[in-house]
Amino acid sequence: MLSLIPGPSELYFTVHDHLRKAIRNSVGSLSHRSQEFETIFRRVTEGLKELLSIPAGYHIFFTGSATEIFERSIQNLVEHESFHFVNGAFSARFYEVARQLGKRPTRMEATPGTGFREVEIPAQTDFIAVTHNETSTGVSLPPGFIEGLRKKNENALVVVDAVSSLPYPSFDYHGVDSVFFSVQKGFGLPAGLGVWLVNDRCLARAEHLLALGISIGSYHNLPTLYSHAVKNQTPETPNVLALYLLAGVVEDMLEKGIERIRRETEYKAAILYHLLDQHPVLKPFVAETEYRSKTVITLDCGKHLAEVKEALLHRGFLPGDGYGEFRKNQLRLANFPTHSKEQFEALTDALNALKF
Amino acid sequence: MLSLIPGPSELYFTVHDHLRKAIRNSVGSLSHRSQEFETIFRRVTEGLKELLSIPAGYHIFFTGSATEIFERSIQNLVEHESFHFVNGAFSARFYEVARQLGKRPTRMEATPGTGFREVEIPAQTDFIAVTHNETSTGVSLPPGFIEGLRKKNENALVVVDAVSSLPYPSFDYHGVDSVFFSVQKGFGLPAGLGVWLVNDRCLARAEHLLALGISIGSYHNLPTLYSHAVKNQTPETPNVLALYLLAGVVEDMLEKGIERIRRETEYKAAILYHLLDQHPVLKPFVAETEYRSKTVITLDCGKHLAEVKEALLHRGFLPGDGYGEFRKNQLRLANFPTHSKEQFEALTDALNALKF
């Protein structure tokens, strides 16, 4: 059975080999203060910087989840007001976290399934939260949208939730101050690790809040994460096994080549959307092509949900349910680097063979 | 090589089998919203309640680390003042977290290597933090000490850091409101999971703070953890693999029997302390027997540190270094459930054979 759930996803196809190697090398009992750990930390951070073409002046930190980074980024980067682009459940949660932490968030809402057109950002905003890929609906913001935000408010930090799109998107990091993701989506790893990329402007903001007497948290505040990361360490005992697996998968992806991963992602998305655009019954939930996610593809099955799901299961595909209220008539199909072109060809064949 | 580092520790001897089973059963890609996950969650919480004889009215939640629980417990349970028993690096860090989160902590300090004698707790304290087993020095508080705190301040919540002692200690939970630990110590699992036990008084306190408008955090505040845990779920995508491994190890420990684990822990500690008490050169760092930890045994090697360490390595034992400034002349030896009586007999033989 091939899982197409958009996270926790089908494991990257090399993960079980790396796990077996971890057992042989006793990685599970490795001290996080050992040189071997520092080597793993460096392999992950240097590998990610190469894979994603991250420029100098950016730093990579680790948390327990991307959900934790919602909280840490608000805590460390917002003095008064954050501004949120909300078009689904996860961008809405980011907004809600700011409220729970006692900040004054504002938001611009779009109907689920669509993007944002006329963008107005309050002048006093010091933080712009944008969800590159809404996992709940399969809406992805078009290239240039995120990078254009900086022009609208130069003092605000631009913080990008790329949980279910990386490593696919190629961001222009000069327009982005922070990006985060979790490893159980596009990287195909077991859940339990969040990855947080920040630049020097973010570090300066956290120091500024601290100087003002605003609490930025304890062990996972940015100055503490930074002071450990420069020594290839973490403040707490981290999920060492997950870091080891991530190091391996990043190296495997580097060997395959990010351009090839991107081309294959686009090919797989193209054949699936092509089918949906021509299908008499199944429809893509995201109508406008510019907002369609390449990595989380959402099908509107109308009243045929049960039979579509059953047919896919019968052919060996485990589709993801729609999110929340959408589970009544939608399915979500992950298109991650672990899913091969051949598997997506077989998937479109399976959908094509459906008779209603 | 047998690791005697007090965490991340030698894995419990069944962990690699459970990991292989996890690979066969695709646990790494298991959805945290599936029934299979809920079964794992229930196996862990019900198993821990049975293993540790936890009474009704207590709930078990999961975080990324015990360090996270320092922060979450202060955030959710302290209105104004916390009080901390500080006798080493980890109890000092708990105090520091309260300061970083903007509370007004006070503390009672004891010299590292000793316990606390005359205890005075400020009347206005609403939270008493006590470290059952100081991992940095090998001091453990004697039975009854923690349970007696409730009598000194009935309104305060008693919160116990049992990171490096559980599952060994048998607490009287009627005198304890919260206990926490991480899995990479006595449970012998890969790092990346904190376990947080709280009672209904803790839940009521968090609700009280929330009603007062005090921020108690977002996804990992107690009401949110509780509302998910009653459905055998977690707010965020958790470290599913670690929960699966913990379920297996807790069941293995139940099969072995907690009384047998406790008896063996005491036997292993007894033969090691017996040797140290009679040894011409090596000394136990903790002089008073009532404060000696059974699970983290600290050796003062004086000027012979290098040769003791080398001799142990030569015999297949990897000792833990002393913590911080103590690494100059101390070694720490973990005595966890995964370490067998035979291994500890061989360890004492190795120490006995040393000639200075």
Cβ–Cβ < 8 Å for A153, A81: no
CA distance between the termini of chain B: 24
Cβ neighbours of A235 in B, within 8 Å? 67
Mean pLDDT of B223-228: 98
The pTM for the full model equals 0.96
Please give the Cα distance from A240 to A193 (Å, whole number).
10
DSSP SS3 for A2: strand
Give phi and psi for A25, each to the nearest 5: -100, 10
Which of B16, B192, B218 is closest, CB to CB, to A241?
B192
The stretch B42-65 carries a mean pLDDT of 97
Rg from Cα positions in chain B: 20
Report the pLDDT value the prediction gives residue A152, as an integer from 0 to 100: 85
- The minimal CB distance from A237 to the residues B26, B71, B182 is found for B182
Other Cβ atoms within 10 Å of B230 Cβ, number:
9
Residue type, B281: V
Secondary structure (3-state) at A45: helix
| Averaged pLDDT, B306-312 | 95
A236/B101 touch (CB, cutoff 8 Å), yes or no: no
Of the partner residues B71, B192, B219, the one whose CB lies closest to the CB of residue A238: B192
> Does B152 have pLDDT greater than 90?
no
Whether A97 has its CB under 8 Å from any CB of chain B: the answer is yes
pLDDT at B66 over 90: yes
User: Closest Cα partner for B346 from B284, B268, B285?
Assistant: B268
Q: Is B175 on the interface with A (CB under 8 A)?
A: no
pLDDT of residue B245: 98
**Count of Cβ atoms closer than 10 Å to residue B265 Cβ:** 23
Candidate from A67, A192, A219 with C-beta closest to B71: A219
Q: Distances from the Cα of A283 to the Cαs of A110, A114, A278, A302, A338, in angstroms?
A: 20, 15, 8, 8, 25
Instruction: Give all domains of chain A, ordered by start, each with its CATH number.
Output: 2-7+258-352 (3.90.1150.10), 15-255 (3.40.640.10)
The residue of chain A nearest to residue B24, with distances taken between CA atoms, is: A16
Q: Using DSSP, how many helices (H) and how many strands (E) does chain A show?
A: 11, 14
Interface of B with A in 17-36 (CB under 8 A): 19-20, 23, 26-32
Three-state SS at B244: helix
B3 contacts: CB under 8 Å, gap ≥ 6:
A29, B9, B10, B318, B334
* B67 shares contact with chain A (CB less than 8 Å): yes
The CA-atom distances, in angstroms, between A286 and each of A43, A148, A293, B175 are 38, 23, 8, 56
The Cα–Cα gap between A6 and A88 comes to 15
**pLDDT in the model for residue B305:** 95
**pLDDT (average), residues B170-177:** 94
Element containing residue A182 per DSSP (H, E): strand A178-182
Nearest CA in chain B to A187: B29
**Residues B95, B61: contact at Cβ < 8 Å?**
no
Check residue B156 and give its pLDDT. Answer: 95
Check CB contact under 8 Å for A71 and B219: yes
Residue of B nearest to A3 (CA): B29
Q: Does A191 contact B32 at a Cβ distance shorter than 8 Å?
A: yes
**Could you give the 3-state DSSP secondary structure of residue A175?**
helix
Residue % of chain B over a pLDDT of 90: 93
Q: Does B82 touch chain A (CB under 8 A)?
A: no
CA distances from A241 to A237, A296, B108, B336, B344 (A): 11, 27, 37, 21, 28
User: Count of CB atoms within 10 A of residue B263's CB?
Assistant: 12
pLDDT at A7: 87
Distance CA A312, CA A332 (A): 12
pLDDT tens readout for residues B67-120: 999 999 999 999 999 999 999 999 999 999 999 999 999 999 998 899 998 888
In three-state secondary structure terms, B28 is helix
A73 touches chain B (CB under 8 A): no
Taking every pair of Cα atoms in chain A, the longest distance, rounded to a whole number of angstroms, is 65
Does A43 reach chain B within 8 Å, measured CB to CB? no
pLDDT digits (tens, 9 = 90+) for A130-186: 999 999 999 999 988 999 998 888 999 999 999 999 999 999 999 999 999 999 999
**Three-state DSSP class for residue B222:** helix
Residues of chain A with pLDDT under 50: none
Chain A nearest C-alpha distance from B62 (Å): 11
| Closest-CA residue to A93 (of A110, A70, A111) | A70
Minimal Cβ distance to A23: which of B19, B70, B193:
B19
Per-residue pLDDT band for B143 (boundaries 50, 70, 90) equals confident
B212-217 long-range contacts (CB < 8 A, ≥24 apart) are: B212/B79, B214/B79, B215/A100, B215/A101, B215/A102, B215/B75, B216/B75, B216/B76, B217/A71, B217/A100, B217/A101, B217/B72, B217/B75, B217/B76
pLDDT for the residue numbered A112: 86
Instruction: Indicate if the pLDDT at residue B149 is higher than 90.
Output: yes
Closest partner CB to B65 (pick from A5, A23, A237): A237
Cross-chain Cβ contact B191/A32 below 8 Å: yes
**Rounded-to-integer distance, Cα A132 and Cα A123, Å:** 22
